[in-house]
Amino acid sequence: MNAGVLFVCMGNICRSPIAEGVFRHAAAQAGLLERVQIDSAGTHGYHAGEPPDRRAVLAAKNRGYDLAGIRARQLEREDFARFDWIFAMDQANMRTLVEMRPRDYAGHLGLYLDLAPEVGAREMPDPYYGGPEGFERVLDLTERVTPALLAKLTRAMRR
């Protein structure tokens, strides 16, 4: 079984591309990259076609993650047909996903941080209006959640 994982935030230039890049790296290390479609999108098209925020790119690069090939795009209704696992970075974007979700969507739709309750947060903080420490916090949380997602996805793909 192949699978698709989509990470969603508001503009697709900070949180969701970081989650995409970190998860893509983990999937590659696990030998799953050929079997998993990994992408990110924004609920709004403010930055469509743009690369991730330079602060996100730099923070990720400093930890060994490459975000260079990622370009912002707006979430499409068709994404529900393409992705089995869709993760919102916060409640506001989750509400948008719930409103857009087709009635027949049988995949998983949820908050990304709910995969790792031990992190003590349900919403990924938006680093856009802050300094570099906000991007480091997003990376810290993402690195803690990624193994849980990888394990869950690996189990599901064995079925």
Question: Residue 40: phi, psi to the nearest 5?
Answer: -145, 160
3-state helix, strand, coil in the chain (%, to 5): 45, 15, 40
Which of the residues are catalytic? 9, 15, 126
Alpha carbon of 102 to those of 77, 81, 97, 98, 99: distances in Å?
8, 9, 10, 9, 8
Are 31 and 114 contacting, i.e. CB atoms less than 8 angstroms apart? no
Tokens 């990924």: give the residue.
124
Kindly state the tokens that stand for 22. Answer: 């970190």
Residue 3: how many other CB atoms lie within 10 Å: 18
